[in-house]
Amino acid sequence: MKKSTVFPAPGQLLYGWLLLCLLLPELARAQFSTVASQTQFVCNATNNQFGVQAFADGSGGSYSVWIDKRNGNNAGLGTAIYAQHLDAAGGPLLPANGKRLFQTGSRDIFGLRAIPWQSGLLVAWVQGAFGVGGDTVRCQYYSAAGDAQWSIPTVVAYRTLPSVIYESEQGLNIIPTSTGATITHALALNGGSARFTFNKIGPTGVLSFPNNDRQTVVVPVGIFASDYYHTVGDGADGFYMVASAGGLSSPIYAQRFSAAGAAVWANYTTISAGGASGRGSDWQLLTDPANNLYVAWTSNGGDPLVAKVLPSGALGWASPGYVALSTDPAFQTNPHAIWHDNALWMIWEDARGGSGSFDYKCYAQKIDAAGTLAWTPNGVPVYSLSAAYPRPKLAPSDNGSVMAFYSTDTNIANFRAQKILPTGAMAFAAPGVILHSIADNRPYEFDYVPVGQPNGSVQVYWSSPGAAPTGRDICAGRIQNSGTLLSTERAADALGFSVYPNPTTNELRLQLPTGAQPNGLRLYDAQGRLARTFADAAALSLRGLPAGLYVLRATLAGQQVSRRVAVE
């Protein structure tokens, strides 16, 4: 008699496949490094890659876009733009060393911006002849897979000799709107003066205004260098523009432009005056949920300052209209600010207690919409040792906290992270967690972007200084909200935290390191919903739970850990 074969039902087959995927280790592939002494290269092709842009993909991963010189030269293929998409574990979803988005023969690229847009990404850049300067500003819409969605890039602006001698990458920005995007930049006129300009683009790449039609000269006329224009969206399809001459005693001015591209305020708002003005390259523009404008900068005198401007153009705080985030007489410089948890957070390099030039610590401060400082008037110390070029930046984390990043030590070898709690306390032991420790592959100056993720972890993308044989490379790293470089599953492996039996039916037991006790034991279903909370680690009853896939999360030895569980 022939033996019959019994096949599993489709639902059983799917469940078995999901269970296999859940319980088997991840396939070996490129991923975020779990060791600070190992570099994850997003791109290490020949010649230089730099000017990195990065943003979250909404699924725990990130896109990165950069200027690429692997084939760039005056007589050959020219400078290119490449992109990569990493998933939450750091696995590449586009080709190795990135996917080429744009390249044209014998042309150089001087500046780049990239943002998430529609269902993909919008990229704008300034290109021109090698060593001469930009002659056009272009943009292209790419799908999530990096495929161009318009037949050719849209030319946003082009020089018109003899009046406009070049289009500048200074002030280059992309501001998304409900009907497309606004692209801002600067241009230089014959005779040396510089102006701010912009254009609007629709979903299909159609421009709103003629070439260089929206030129703006900020009063007083003729003294504004092109690299001192900055822009940010106003939340109403328009934008704010801030400008300054950048010299000593030069005021900072602001103007708001409508969705139609017209100046909204009858007069420019003066944000600062006299010694409170700042170097043009070190201020930042931010907005809050009420669409108020905030300008954060350090003055020529070395004070970290923040001003608030209302949508009406009036200053939001009492005279002089700005607040000092530190009253310490030492020199402060190179600030970075973000709006997070209903407050503006700012970090900066601080010379207090230093032995001379290029001997900086890192301090931070938080200020709310009313202009009230959250912590001591001198700010809180984030990094208190000595470093030549900390170049700090911030990114949002979990539970109202932010993550700070900075380079440390005399050779700037260690790239570190510190979590700043809402109280101003530091979450990690000083001088911070080492995210990366190879000097040749560390972040180069400010050419790095931290990308906060919903779970509180932060992914960081940077260009390295240019070590042989490949030159400058694009690298990446990730730090968890607990301060470990490990994922919660890998942290569980390292700490000896495991569960059994798995699969299980009614009960789950824990295997723990000697003397350790977990806190916050919670079980989540496959949709991320809290399914059960456990007060006692010795009794984890699963009775009454539907069959399916779950994740058990806990805190052990100060680190977040997790284990995947199958309930039958």
pLDDT, position 16: 41
First-to-last alpha carbon distance for the chain, in angstroms, is 35
Neighbours of 393 (CB within 10 A): 21
Residues 6+ apart with CB under 8 A from 92: 30, 42, 84, 85, 86
Residues 6+ apart with CB under 8 A from 89: 26, 31, 32, 487
Question: Does residue 556 lie within any of the structural domains?
Answer: yes
pLDDT in tens, 356-377: 667 899 999 999 999 999 999 9
Residues 6+ apart with CB under 8 A from 129: 74, 106, 107, 108, 135
pLDDT, position 273: 63
Question: Does residue 527 lie within any of the structural domains?
Answer: yes
Are 337 and 320 in contact by the 8 Å Cβ rule? The answer is no
Looking up residue 511, the CATH number of its domain turns out to be: 2.60.40
pLDDT, position 165: 92
pLDDT, position 58: 92
Q: Which domain holds residue 501?
A: 490-567
Question: Does residue 225 lie within any of the structural domains?
Answer: no
Query: What SS3 class is residue 562?
Result: strand
pLDDT, position 252: 85
Q: Which residues does the chain have with pLDDT short of 70?
A: 1-30, 72-75, 219-227, 245-249, 273-281, 355-357, 410-412, 558-559
Name the CA radius of gyration of the chain, rounded.
Answer: 26
pLDDT, position 157: 97
CA distance 348 to 335: 4
What is the reported pTM? 0.84
Number of folded domains in the chain? 1
pLDDT in tens, 245-276: 655 567 788 999 999 999 999 999 988 765 56
Q: Nearest 10 degrees: CA dihedral of 253, 259, 262, 263?
A: -20
Helix spans in 275-339 (H): none
pLDDT, position 14: 38
CB environment 460-483: b (16+ within 10 A), e (fewer): bbbbbbeeeebbbbbbbbbbbbbb
